[in-house]
């Protein structure tokens, strides 16, 4: 895990100042190998034990985090861990670089092992916060509490959907090859 300090940061596309208490967040997305220890019925695709686990719904992501004495990060926590105090557009800066994230522009067409893009780390040292897989966070997409939020973009998405503040909303029991998660504490 990496420690994210308390304090203010620039949030959202409008870079509104927001405060957050200090917390820790996993340096990497939860992998197939890690998740398989929690749920033995989850098959590890050939050669992908070190890739982010995918096709996990919100409820199972939450259960996994609880099983390791952690929790899902809030949207504000996830965003601060990804963009730092300055409100960077991408974890590494304000200009997109396909060499720093697994997005559609990388033309890989699938996940990569967690931590593969060393130059794409966030100001706090968290990896893969742009691309690879969208990540569930503990947040609702509206007052009706019908949709949950995911952040960070994925290999399936372009640079505009892989910014540090981009969100995707979905029903909490949704599962796709481009949806994973990481935990916080």
The CA-atom distances, in angstroms, between 31 and each of 49, 94, 124, 164 are: 6, 28, 20, 21
Distance from C-alpha of 41 to C-alpha of 35, rounded to nearest angstrom? 10
The structural domains of the chain, ordered by start, are 2-180 (3.90.1580.10)
The whole-number pLDDT of residue 105 equals: 97
Residue 107 CB contacts under 8 Å (≥ 6 apart), including other chains: none
Ranges of the chain whose pLDDT falls below 70:
none
The CA-atom distances, in angstroms, between 133 and each of 9, 70, 88, 128, 157 are: 24, 20, 19, 8, 9
């Amino acid at each position: 895990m990496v420690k994210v300090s308390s304090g203010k940061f620039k949030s959202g596309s409008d870079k509104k100042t927001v405060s957050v208490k200090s917390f820790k967040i996993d340096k990497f997305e939860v992998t197939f190998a890690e998740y398989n220890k929690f749920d033995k019925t989850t098959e590890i695709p050939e050669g992908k034990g070190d890739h982010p686990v995918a096709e996990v719904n919100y409820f199972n992501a939450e259960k996994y985090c609880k099983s390791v004495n952690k929790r899902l990060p809030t949207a504000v926590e996830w965003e601060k861990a990804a963009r730092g105090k300055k409100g960077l557009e991408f974890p590494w800066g304000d200009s997109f670089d396909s060499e720093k994230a697994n997005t559609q522009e990388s033309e890989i067409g699938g996940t990569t092992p967690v931590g593969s893009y060393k130059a794409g780390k966030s100001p706090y040292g968290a990896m893969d916060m742009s691309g690879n897989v969208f990540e569930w966070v503990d947040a609702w997409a509206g007052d009706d509490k019908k949709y949950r939020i995911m952040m960070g973009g994925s290999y399936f998405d372009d640079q505009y959907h892989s910014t540090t503040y981009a969100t995707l909303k979905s029903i909490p029991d949704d599962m796709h090859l481009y949806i994973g998660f990481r935990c916080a504490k």
